[in-house]
Amino acid sequence: MERPIIGIAANEVEDAGAKLYHLPISYTPAGYVKAVQEVGGLPFLLPIGTPADAKAYMQRIDKLILAGGQNVAPDLYGEKPLVAEAALASERDQFELALIYEALVQKKPIFAVCRGMQLANVALGGSLYQDVSQLSDLQIAHMQVPIAREIPTHHIRTEKASVLRNIYGEQAKVNSFHYQAVKKLAPDLKATAFSEDGIIEGVENRSSKFTFLGVQWHPDFAYEHLEQELAIFRYVVKDL
């Protein structure tokens, strides 16, 4: 049986630092690659290109992973920036939007983490909180730095009859590294996990027209330490 080819949308940095001679590089966090390999998938990195490249990339993969990273540009959901120094990546936004739309056309499943879930929600007609720290009713820290990335810091509650309930149970504890979050949920998506203070932490497809699973936390940070985080990669590679 052939190994599923899992496309992972990559990121870019203009200056990789002195050890890499300050080169610009294309990259993805190794956790995505190694977790996919560990559960039997064949990772295939998709470097940022033009939106016109998306069709050819999607034809070569079985499933798509959208990784974490920069904030999603507010103009994509009709808002002006409220955060002066938010890290944005316009070319990445446009390329990954094209990947999402092409995945829908080609009926390729999507697994989206953190920024990836946020961008997919926007692509499908939703909106975002630009900075959750500005919400008055938060009860937990959604950016856990300096706590180590693999340590879970807050609980989530999953919805009945959801993919996330089957993987994580009714309640679980997860890590948290995000400034933005889903505000208005896209019509074809349903929220299937929530933090203690009501932030949407997990999203799945409501429509049968496509297959989507998104999480706000980072399984790629903790798959070596928590079985639940390896289990979600196993589900993505084998069953999504």
Question: Residue 141 — pLDDT band, cuts 50, 70, 90?
Answer: confident
Q: Which residues contact 63 (CB under 8 A, 6 or more apart)?
A: 4, 5, 6, 7, 108, 109, 110, 111, 236, 237, 240
What is the SS3 assignment for 25? strand
How confident is the model over 172-227, as pLDDT tens digits? 999 999 999 999 999 999 999 999 999 999 999 998 989 999 999 999 999 999 99
What is the SS3 assignment for 121? helix
How confident is the model over 33-86, as pLDDT tens digits? 999 999 999 999 999 999 999 999 999 999 999 999 999 999 999 999 887 666
Residue with tokens 């610009």: 24
pTM assigned to the model: 0.95
Tell me the CATH architecture of domain 5-238: 3-Layer(aba) Sandwich (3.40)
Tokens representing residue 205 in the block: 């497809």
123 vs 29: CA distance, rounded Å: 23
